[in-house]
Amino acid sequence: MIVTTKELFAHAYGRYAIGAYNINNLEQCMGLFQGNVQSRAPFIVQISKGARSYTHKKMLEALIRTANEIFPDAIFAVHLDHGDEATCYDCIDSGFYSSVMIDASSEPFETNVEITKRVVEAAHAKGVVVEAELGMLGGVEEHVSVAEADAKLTDPAQAEEFVKRTGCDSLACAIGTSHGAYKFSGTQSLHFEVLEAIQKRLPGFPLVMHGSSSVPKEEVDRINAAGGQIKGAKGVDESQFKRAAQLGVTKVNIDTDGRLVWCRVHREYFRDHPENFDLRPPGKVFMKEYAAFIAHKNEVLGSAGQLDAVRAVVKPRA
Ligand code: G3H
Ligand code: 13P
Ligand code: ZN
C-alpha cells in the first residue's frame, strides 16, 4: 500500500525512525520489500535522479507497482531523493510519487526559500508531500559536491523561519553526517545539540537525517579481501538512531550500506566461483542478503514490528 510520508511520520514521531532506502534495480526492489515485510516495518522507497535515468524513469516505477502487488502487506511511501525543481514537477505530475525532496540547499537562503515554496505549492495541489533541505552535508550528491570545509550545520533559527515560510512537510538537517562510502576522516559525530535546538523551535515537526550509512568495517574488509580497494571511514553509529528519533528524526536515509552489500556479495561470489558467469546465482544471494540487511536496519531504527499499528492509522494514497 502506497501512503504519504506525512502519515508515516505522524505515527513515528518521537518514537522511532523510518528507513528510507535508495533502489536502482530489480534485485534491490525485491530484497527491499522482502526485508521490510519480514521485519514488519513501514518504509520509504527512495529514487534519486540518477536512479530514474539509470534505465528509464518508468522502469523503477513499474518494479515498485509490481512489488506492491506481490507483497500486499507492505506499507510504504515512494519518494524522490535530492530532486531539483524540474525533476520534482515531473514526479509530482507522474501521480506515482507520494513524496518529493527539493534540494536547493546549495543555494543562498532566500533562493532556497523561493524554490522550495514553489515546489510545495505544486506538490500540495496534488496531495504530494515535500521534504526540503537546509544546511549543507559534506560528500557527493548528484548535483552537489561539498568539501568538508564547506559543509554547514543547519542553523536552528533559520530552520524555524524556513519551515514557516516554505510550508514544507519535513526538513533534512545537516547535523554532521555526509554522503557516500568515502565519508570524512574518522567517525561521524552526530550533533545532537543542533537537533535538540531545532526540535525546541519546531516541536512535532518531522526531521530527516541524510548520509546515515554506517559503512561497517567488516563489510569493507570483506570487499577488500575479495579484490576491492575501498578506504571507507566509519559512518553513523547505528546505536545513535534511536536517540535521534526521540529528537524528531522520523526518516533516516540509507543508500551506501546497501551498495556495499551488493559489492561484497558479487565480489565474493565470483571470487569463490571463478568458473561461473551466470548473473542469477549471485543475484539470488544478493536479494537474500539485502533483505536481511534491511531487516537489521529496521531493528536499529525501531521501525521493525510497527507495520500493523501503522496499518490501523493510514489509508492508501488516492
Ligand atoms: O544522496 C545521494 C544518494 O545516495 C543517491 O545517490 O545520486 O548516486 O543515486 P545517486
Ligand atoms: P549514505 O550515502 O550515507 O547512504 O546516505 C544516503 C542519502 O542520504 C540519500 O539521500
Ligand atoms: Zn541524501
- Write the DSSP assignment of 50-68 as a string of letters: HHHHHS-HHHHHHHHHHHH
How far is Cα 175 from Cα 154, in angstroms, rounded to an integer?
A: 7
Task: Give the ligand at the shortest distance from the Cα of 255.
Answer: 2
Task: Give the ligand at the shortest distance from the Cα of 136.
Answer: 3
Q: Is the CB of 40 under 6 A from ligand 2?
A: no
What radius of gyration do the chain's Cα atoms show? 19
Distance 273 CA to ligand 2 centre (A): 32
Specify the residue with its C-alpha closest to ligand 2, atom 5: 211
Distance 308 CA to ligand 1 centre (A): 30
pLDDT digits (tens, 9 = 90+) for 267-286: 999 999 999 999 999 999 99
Residue 255 CA: nearest ligand 2 atom is 4
Q: What is the set of active-site residues?
A: 81
Q: Is the CB of 213 under 6 A from ligand 2?
A: yes
How far is Cα 22 from Cα 95, in angstroms, rounded to an integer?
A: 19
Q: Is the CB of 253 under 6 A from ligand 2?
A: yes
pLDDT digits (tens, 9 = 90+) for 231-249: 877 899 999 999 999 999 9
Q: Is the CB of 255 under 6 A from ligand 2?
A: yes
DSSP secondary structure letter of residue 2? B
Specify the residue with its C-alpha closest to ligand 1, atom 2: 141
What's the average model confidence in pLDDT over 207-236? 94
Residues having CB within 6 Å of any atom of ligand 1: 22, 48, 50-51, 81-82, 141-142, 179, 255
DSSP secondary structure letter of residue 152? B
**Angstrom distances, CA of residue 110 to CA of 151, 152, 168, 201:** 18, 16, 15, 20
Q: Distance between the two ends of the chain, CA-based, in angstroms?
A: 11
Residue written as grid cell 500540495 = 124
Q: Residue 141: is its pLDDT beyond 60?
A: no
Residues with Cβ < 8 Å from 126, sequence gap 6 or more?
A: 92, 93, 95
- DSSP 3-state assignment of 139? strand
Task: Give the ligand at the shortest distance from the Cα of 53.
Answer: 1
Residue 259 CA: nearest ligand 2 atom is 4
Distance 260 CA to ligand 2 centre (A): 12
Residue 180 CA: nearest ligand 2 atom is 2
- DSSP 3-state assignment of 313? coil
- DSSP 3-state assignment of 45? strand
pLDDT digits (tens, 9 = 90+) for 29-78: 999 999 999 999 999 999 999 999 999 999 999 999 999 999 999 999 99
Residue 82 CA: nearest ligand 2 atom is 10
Residues with Cβ < 8 Å from 128, sequence gap 6 or more?
A: 4, 91, 92, 97, 98, 99, 100
- DSSP 3-state assignment of 20? strand
- DSSP 3-state assignment of 228? coil
pLDDT confidence of residue 182? 76
What's the average model confidence in pLDDT over 98-125? 97
User: What domains lie within the chain, and their CATH numbers?
Assistant: 5-311 (3.20.20.70)
What's the average model confidence in pLDDT over 289-299? 98
Closest CA to 311 of 123, 88, 73, 51: 73
Answer whether 118's CB lies under 8 Å from 77's CB: no
